[in-house]
Amino acid sequence: MSTLIFHNGFILTDRGFEPDTCVVVEDGHIVAVLHGDPPSGPPRIDLAGGWLAPGFIDVQVNGGGGVLFNDDPSVATIATIGRAHRRFGTTGFLPTLISDTTETMQRAIAATRAAIAAGVPGVLGIHLEGPYLAPARRGVHDARHVRVPDADELQHITALDTGKTLITLAPEQVPLTTLHALRARGAILSAGHSAATLTQAQVAFAAGIRGVTHLFNAMPPLQGREPGLLGAALDDDAVWCGIIVDGVHVHPASLRVAVKAKPRGKVLLVTDAMPVVGSDHPDFTLYGQPITVRDGALRTADGTLAGSALDMAHAVRNTVHLLGLPLDEACRMAAQYPAEFLGLGDQYGRIAPGYRANLVWLDSALQVRGTWIGGEGDPDAPCARC
């Protein structure tokens, strides 16, 4: 039996960050959260007065470490992306494939299945962002791939028999019968890259769409006489909303409005990260187009946003400093709420007995000092066994 104790820091429990508390981990799971001095004997992680939070979960990760999932949907690519984002506190993620051919989608699903079977740290499933999008709201997605799914394709895109399958689609582009079929096959559906009206969005939510992908982006703005998808998402208390808090995709004031409009627990942080995260190379190619970093934003030559250079630790810091939310809530938006959105809230996203020991240690500057997945420290991090 492998036992590890975390102590001498602030532990995020359901009551907030608590001092004079320690966490006991055995065989990859949290077995106790204790007040007072830690038990003697087992190895200890001295948090040096820092913050211990549940490991971050990112449901929208296109790339990292210099690689893009679309370019090479393989186990090696998924592992590289996971290693890159783990440095920034992400201990659970969905490798995300943007609009592509059916063949590439099948390869991505097969690679995800193989990565989970091989025990690649942190892989929770796959996110298919497209290709069932509104052509006018496709953003950087290649128009050649944007389409409506046919009956045969439904079986292929829901073929992952382990982990979670998240599909972003434009509800006005997909028949209700198809939405019902996807839900019946276990897919989690999110609306995005959409020009849906309020009524179309409401009907889609009633049909089982449970989230909205990168709220505000790739959808019409809220208008007084036509709230659209954005208004429908803010109005429906049951709908989860992913937000990109990088100071580029959405103005912080708009994000503050969204957080105030939604019930607590229904807004989650995502990165929409591209290969530049965790890489020394500031540029990459997408669909044959060069993508460059300009003032912290990733853009095509014509200025279209192409994902982000955001990592989850930065998103948490921005949520504190730009949105003015307390650190405990920012950490929940990065861990507990994504876990609940994926239907994994009974296993991930909290520091409580019975939960998987996926953890992130932050210092006073909210920089990542260490991460643990299933109680195992990052072998590439010097602080894994501090």
How confident is the chain (386 residues) per 10-residue block, as mean pLDDT? 91 97 97 91 93 98 97 98 98 98 97 98 98 95 93 91 97 96 96 98 97 97 96 98 97 98 98 95 90 87 91 98 98 98 98 98 97 92 48
User: CA-CA distance, 379 to 172, in Å (whole number)?
Assistant: 46
* 61 within 8 A of 81, measured Cβ to Cβ: yes
User: Of residues 58, 100, 236, 272, which has the active-site annotation?
Assistant: 272
The verdict on whether 380 is a catalytic residue reads: no
Work out the burial of residue 281: count CB atoms within 10 Å of its CB; fewer than 13 is exposed, 13-18 middle, 19 or more buried.
Answer: exposed
Helix axes 176-184, 198-206, angle to 10 degrees: 30
Query: Is domain 3-53+350-377 annotated with CATH 3.40.190.10?
Result: no
State the pLDDT at residue 202: 98
State the pLDDT at residue 281: 86
User: CA-CA distance, 386 to 384, in Å (whole number)?
Assistant: 6
State the pLDDT at residue 382: 52
State the pLDDT at residue 295: 81
- Does 294 appear as a known binding residue? no
- Does 307 appear as a known binding residue? yes
Six-digit token pair at 119?
Answer: 């025990």
User: CA-CA distance, 257 to 253, in Å (whole number)?
Assistant: 6
User: CA-CA distance, 48 to 372, in Å (whole number)?
Assistant: 17
User: What single DSSP character describes residue 280?
Assistant: S
State the pLDDT at residue 50: 98
Longest alpha-carbon distance in the chain: 65
Please tell me the pTM assigned to this model: 0.96
Q: Where does residue 296 fall: left (phi above 0), alpha (psi -120 to 50 degrees), or beta otherwise?
A: left
User: What single DSSP character describes residue 378?
Assistant: P
Six-digit token pair at 368?
Answer: 């990542």
For the chain, the residue count is 386
Half-sphere exposure of 332 (CA within 13 A, CB side): 18
- Does 193 appear as a known binding residue? yes
- Does 217 appear as a known binding residue? yes
Is 3-53+350-377's fold the same as 56-341's? Answer: no
| Count of helix runs (H) and strand runs (E) in the chain | 10, 21
State the pLDDT at residue 1: 57
Work out the burial of residue 161: count CB atoms within 10 Å of its CB; fewer than 13 is exposed, 13-18 middle, 19 or more buried.
Answer: exposed
**Every domain of the chain and the residues it spans:** 3-53+350-377, 56-341
User: What single DSSP character describes residue 163?
Assistant: S
- Does 214 appear as a known binding residue? yes
Query: Is domain 56-341 annotated with CATH 3.40.190.170?
Result: no
